[in-house]
Structure 1
């Protein structure tokens, strides 16, 4: 199986798994959903979704993976037999929908093989991808790839919903929106996610119009009032609110927030209502509308998108973009544009990063090697502070790799180049300055035999390239035709390795190489050696 290519050519649009997708059209695809499937709770959910549409009254038991959803269970289902695996015989399955075809992702179309939907979804939703950028890109690729649905999917779209929820949890709103568009937001569960993505990306009018044009969707009181006000029908919105209060269909705090949203002048000088727990995108939008915007610090990462727009201050925009860029869900060009938008307003914290970035960007544009050498160490230190080394390398690795620098600047420039897509090219033209550089070059070239590792982490990495042996669990999954789940185990193993379990590093990298993900294995190994991510 060929390695995953995560950096397609320029001239592309949506950021998908750390790269910009080229030539992929997104189209609405609608599947007939069986009535029974519509009544079932999804396999995963996130607790901050807005109550924008009502869920079916007959919703069954809560998710086996993520706890209760919107409705309390009628029974615990303990006496029920194990479900029989079923699959639709005609038409595509929603679970096979993706944005990256196999020819681009490098993943086999039958990656999930004999795996069961509930077990795959559980691994996806529980995966913690918080360390190495290469692994985050691989994980995003798994979430977004066009893959054959598991044999027991039954056309319900449970795995699709789990993938969308994980994208939302990772802050990958544009990717989640594209996946929803490709599948078609034809059910209440899918529409709720589409509605919240629209709220957080500033497309609330479009979301309200979609709600109005879909008579099969029953909007909740909060969403109905919000959308009536957005359309300019303030009288109808106020009447709906008064009726809901009289019928006790909403609680006092929600009624207070909606009343202020409809007529903030009536409450001038009064303290705003306390933020609910959890804060939903609809709550966030209304707090913003009444002039009491809630900080997205401490909120789920997806809320950072709401602060990327011009309605937020420059500092808030930068900090939100840093969080999303660190997660690999927006292109590095976004943070480049924000860092260089204007002169820093002060010093310290984010402003030190802005100053260092602007100094380096100007130095590189000048072509003056001495000026570049002076500006590179400070900006690299600032990028390390916020773990943006790889996005920095995606922006500047290629030009830095072509420069002839000396001293500390040369050492940093080489490491930046090794984090760029052209890492192997730069490694082959480099004369190592020390033992560590010799080992980094060997990893980049995939030629580790006979090269001395500089430390214990290096030795763990080297064993994966000289005598790869996957973990017992991963090997059992591969033998059982469950390669996708084995890859998820490898990501988890390497994550443990970052925290000190060097055996996990060896086993995880070994698995990636054994299933043909050589490029991912090399980039992960280079990041392990280059980035300060050790527990």
Structure 2
């Protein structure tokens, strides 16, 4: 069997024959799609049998992923754990094997707070993919993956990742405990800590858990000891004091929250009746508002944040929008009312009402930065033949933001911009139709044969495929409208076989900047 170094030296990119479209092959299932379907263990999900490799071929000849010889993942290797096996993602098990954990952590820190939807989906897939860990300290890259998932609001997948790795492993329990608090699983976390106190060297957590599980004498003893020794101080100490003495909490003003409250502080504020609003807290805290403990408006706001980031299925947001009648106007209330009006008009097949509601709902969802979410919810329900012709361009662009973008290309209106987008959806954009530097560079990136950017090519040739994919994704994420940066990133994504991701990212870059 070849060594890893030998495998890296032997990596090649080979053209696949045939003229297949990007969607005639079975695309790898993105993490976002898995989240949409995850109602139980991954093995129980229907339709997740063997899948094609990562390559997602363009129209005029496909590019396969580097053919790397791999070995089976060792079940005991916690760093290799993932929620998406290679049969689902199409990514090789050696994705990170030749990289360094510290280098990857530095790369991940460059990810934008609100990446483009296609890039966000790729990030989730990379973070949840089952693959051999990179070089570095045991569990180092797993901790990076969990940290990034939490940053993106994907609390439950991060928690499940740690559960599969074994949260009792050194350095993992603290992260699992925090995620449990954010997701409302504090009883499970505290039961685990009570059973093995040595898992977490945190007096505040031990006091909280002792009280939560009904062991008030131990909680009081730990609190008195910590206060005497000075291991409890500041906001956390006052919160615990109020938590253990509800009468004192009722008589006193709650402490001022710290600038960056921990999940434990967040839950303690909630426990003493002074819950913190999550809108100004990191995205992961928004998950706490989906437990039915806050008002409808706060639930919708949290769901919008999470759905916008790709951490929550759009259907969950639709369910919240339509749960009851808005009691006020402005912002969230207007969006909920508009979505209800559109949903009702489509349900009763009232084309006139649907056309009017579509315009209003689209404008309001744009204001909320929820264009992609809106497309995913409604593009498939719109009967374009029954809607006013003036809405053809909007419905076309909505359809291009769905997984069926390639089929939607056949319904392009007869305009320059629409023809360009239709060509891009098919992987054959005509550069002559471009009308801006961005359109030109993107069209040329697809008109030419897939080409790896030099920096990315060096990584691929060294066997660091995952690092190359991540670098290309980051380049597109951080392009800030720079056509050259976007084109370079698209070239690499296409060259390693991520044609579908490249097309979606390019379509989103053009559509979200053009649609009105």
> What SS class does the counterpart of residue 42 from structure 2 fall into?
coil
**Pairing partner for 2:154 from 169, 172, 186:** 172
Instruction: Give the CA deviation at 1:505.
Output: 1.0
Residue 42 of structure 2 is matched in structure 1 by: 24
**Pairing partner for 2:482 from 485, 494, 501:** 501
| Alignment partners' CA distance in 1, 2:219 and 2:371 | 48
Answer yes or no: is the 8 Å Cα contact 1:439–1:454 preserved in 2.
no
Residue 130 of structure 2 is matched in structure 1 by: 146
> What SS class does the counterpart of residue 478 from structure 2 fall into?
helix
Residue 317 of structure 2 is matched in structure 1 by: 335
| Alignment partners' CA distance in 2, 1:189 and 1:299 | 24
Residue 273 of structure 1 is matched in structure 2 by: 255
| Alignment partners' CA distance in 1, 2:258 and 2:514 | 35
After TM superposition, the score normalised by the length of structure 1 is: 0.81
The aligned runs of 1:201-350 (5 Å cut-off) are 201-214=183-196, 216-350=198-332
**Pairing partner for 1:157 from 114, 133, 139:** 139
Instruction: Give the CA deviation at 1:421.
Output: 1.0
**Pairing partner for 2:105 from 105, 121, 133:** 121
**Structure 2 unpaired stretches of 5+:** 1-12, 14-21, 45-72
Instruction: Give the CA deviation at 1:189.
Output: 2.2
Instruction: Give the CA deviation at 1:215.
Output: 5.1
Residue 390 of structure 1 is matched in structure 2 by: 372
Residue 6 of structure 2 is matched in structure 1 by: none
- The alignment yields a C-alpha RMSD, in angstroms, of 2.6
**Pairing partner for 1:437 from 418, 426, 429:** 418
Q: How many residues are aligned here?
A: 465
Answer yes or no: is the 8 Å Cα contact 1:17–1:136 preserved in 2.
no
Measured against aligned partners, the alpha-carbon deviations of 1:234-270 in whole angstroms (never above 9, x if no partner) come to 2332232122212222114332211111122124342
Instruction: Give the CA deviation at 1:7.
Output: 5.7
The aligned runs of 1:454-533 (5 Å cut-off) are 454-467=435-448, 468-497=450-479, 499-532=480-513
| Alignment partners' CA distance in 1, 2:28 and 2:375 | 14
Answer yes or no: is the 8 Å Cα contact 2:194–2:206 preserved in 1.
no
| Alignment partners' CA distance in 1, 2:29 and 2:79 | 25
Normalized per residue, the structure richer in helix is 2
| Alignment partners' CA distance in 1, 2:174 and 2:514 | 36
Q: Would you say 1:414 and 2:432 are equivalent positions?
A: no
Instruction: Give the CA deviation at 1:17.
Output: 6.5
Answer yes or no: is the 8 Å Cα contact 1:100–1:146 preserved in 2.
yes
> What SS class does the counterpart of residue 189 from structure 1 fall into?
coil
| Alignment partners' CA distance in 2, 1:476 and 1:286 | 50
Instruction: Give the CA deviation at 1:94.
Output: 2.0
**Structure 1 unpaired stretches of 5+:** 9-13, 27-88
Instruction: Give the CA deviation at 1:102.
Output: 1.7
> What SS class does the counterpart of residue 387 from structure 1 fall into?
coil
Residue 67 of structure 1 is matched in structure 2 by: none
Instruction: Give the CA deviation at 1:485.
Output: 1.3
Structure 1 residues 186 and 436: CA distance shift in structure 2, 3 A: same
Q: Would you say 1:362 and 2:344 are equivalent positions?
A: yes
